[in-house]
Amino acid sequence: MGEQWWRDAVIYQIYPRSWADSDGDGIGDLPGITARLPHLADLGVDAVWLSPFYTSPQHDAGYDVADYRDVDPLFGDLAAFDALVARAHELGLRVIVDIVPNHSSSEHPWFQAALAAEPGSTERARYIFREGRDGGDQPPNNWQSLFGGPAWTRVTEPDGSLGQWYLHLFDTSQPDFDWTNPEVCTELEDVLRFWLDRGVDGFRIDVAHGLVKADGLPDSEHDQWSEPTALAPMWDQPGVHEIYRSWRRITDSSAVEGQDADRILCAEAWVLPAEALAKYVREDELHQSFNFEYLMTPWLADDQRRTITHSLAQAEAVGAPQTWVLSNHDVVRHASRLGYPQQPGLHRVGGIGADDPQPDAGLGLRRARAATAVMLALPGSAYLFQGEELGLPEATRLPDEARQDPTFARTEGASKGRDGCRVPVPWEADAPSYGFGPADRAWLPQPSEYEALAADQQRGVPGSTLELYRTLLALRQALRLGRGRLTWLDGFPDTVLAFTVASTAGQVTVLANLGGAPMALPDGATVLASSQPLEPGAPLGTDETVWLTL
């Protein structure tokens, strides 16, 4: 089976509308991505994951899919996609694409047919339509949309009367599929085969824990962030696992001839506890699942140690690699999230607006660099979010009129939403839109601090965040740290994370000072990398991480 490349891969997420704009319309596109792929080959990652680029009305930035087998004209066409895959493979980069199986767009032909059909029809059976309570006037249950408001919308029947309700765990434009319907299963399996035939190397599965709902759709009284996720009737139900066993058979059978050619599946599953998440990566299910418990763990030594230890143990119990992540398109960037005072326990920081308390930008970046240096030493696989290698902070002062996340609208501004992490990437400080595109247009306004963080201002500059990432990734690969084994070290202050990772290619000692006084490095240590420039003989400062050989 080869070396199973995904067990220690570093995969870089591209949010297509914010990566690079080739035609000047202010929205990133596939040709723009293709042109900038050498940046990723130079950075040292193994694969790229593309957020959705499919045909969509873009009510939720492409996570409302109207055609699963085509490219939205905003981003290009199938020929542009094929060119992107070919160029990526030429550069030694694999390509992972998003699959959105929990829901479609309300403009998908299936849902339009459902609206035109009668209650009880085969067309409606592809989605979750139900009669309302109280004579039909109230939603079928108390479920709430993750974007705010009820998770049910009532339809007007073909005869003009008020009728059934349909479920949408997200926006009203994203009706949930009914995965008890074999037609749904067959359709999404065929979608997987379509993109596998075009050469993709795997899929990231959106809302992987949400496809199956509890029988009878009972009311929910569950807090996902403090209790086992499966207590909620819409999350982490046992039936999802049989779906993924079927998908695993498809990816396994699609492997092309040759060594180390696995096609992979990675779950976006906001699941607690770690034991439940580990079920998704059993040998006959998915290859990876994002470790959101790690992402939500504060920058406190006890919490970090506990989460890392528990996460590794749960993955090892099912023979899977752990998958680490600090930022993505749905969360506040860790360069800003870590700029706030840290409190014990798991926390998901909401979107930040201009009137909210602002993070300490300098402290946040310092901690983000240190946290990344910890993460990239850990055994397993890691995901990076576009721009984090530049140290990009959250855009926290976006004007309300510029915001496009449906969460902002559905909560009437109570939630600022996710736009702040999705602002287009700066490539060149002195170019229009900081090099994002040929025109001075960007679908979200770029903050002025992005100018100094542009890629051309950091490339080749010792001590820059970009060069730190390049150094860490090169060492990680040379020492095969993703294939290594972690051992905690005793004899260090409680505020210091101290561990070794040893593989067949070498060993590294990692020391991370999470808030204590500056600490002298061990005698005879050789510094391989440090999250902040470190003079010979200087102590390890607060919120700094160092990789050593002893």
Tell me if residue 206 is catalytic: yes
Record the tokens describing residue 489, joined without a space: 């070290």
Q: Identify the band that residue 280 occupies on the pLDDT scale cut at 50, 70 and 90.
A: very high
Give the pLDDT confidence of 380-411 residue by residue, as tens digits.
999 999 999 999 999 999 999 999 998 898 88
Q: Measured between alpha carbons, how far is 139 from 83 in angstroms, rounded to an integer?
A: 47
CA-angle at 180, arms to 176 and 112, nearest 5°? 40
Number of H helices, E strands in the chain: 14, 18
* Residues in contact with 7: Cβ distance below 8 Å, sequence separation at least 6, in sequence order: 321, 380, 381, 482, 483
Contact 526, 511 (CB under 8 A): no
| Separation of alpha carbons 182 and 179, rounded Å | 7
- Is the separation of the CB atoms in 229 and 235 below 8 Å? yes
Sequence letter at residue 214: A
Is-cis flag, bond preceding 273, omega within 30?
A: yes
451-503: pLDDT as tens digits: 999 999 999 999 999 999 999 999 999 999 999 999 999 999 999 999 999 99
The DSSP call for residue 16 is G
Q: What is the pLDDT of residues 49-85, one digit of tens each?
A: 999 999 999 999 999 999 999 999 999 999 999 999 9
Measure the CA–CA gap between 72 and 66, rounded to whole angstroms: 9
Instruction: Exactly one of 201, 206, 389, 419 is catalytic; name it.
Output: 206
Q: How far is CA 418 from CA 156, 312, 413, in A?
A: 31, 29, 12
> Cα-Cα-Cα-Cα dihedral of 290, 241, 208, 285, to 10°?
40
Annotated catalytic residue, options 98, 123, 176, 268: 268
Q: Is 401 marked active-site?
A: no
**Contact (CB, 8 A) for 154 and 134:** no
Model pLDDT, residue 1: 43
Angle 240-254/182-197 helices, nearest 10 degrees? 30
Give residue-wise pLDDT tens across range 296-309.
999 999 999 999 99
Structure tokens at 231: 């207590």
Quote the tokens at residue 452. Answer: 């100094």
pLDDT tens digits, residue range 310-369? 999 999 999 999 999 999 999 999 999 999 999 999 988 889 999 999 999 999 999 999
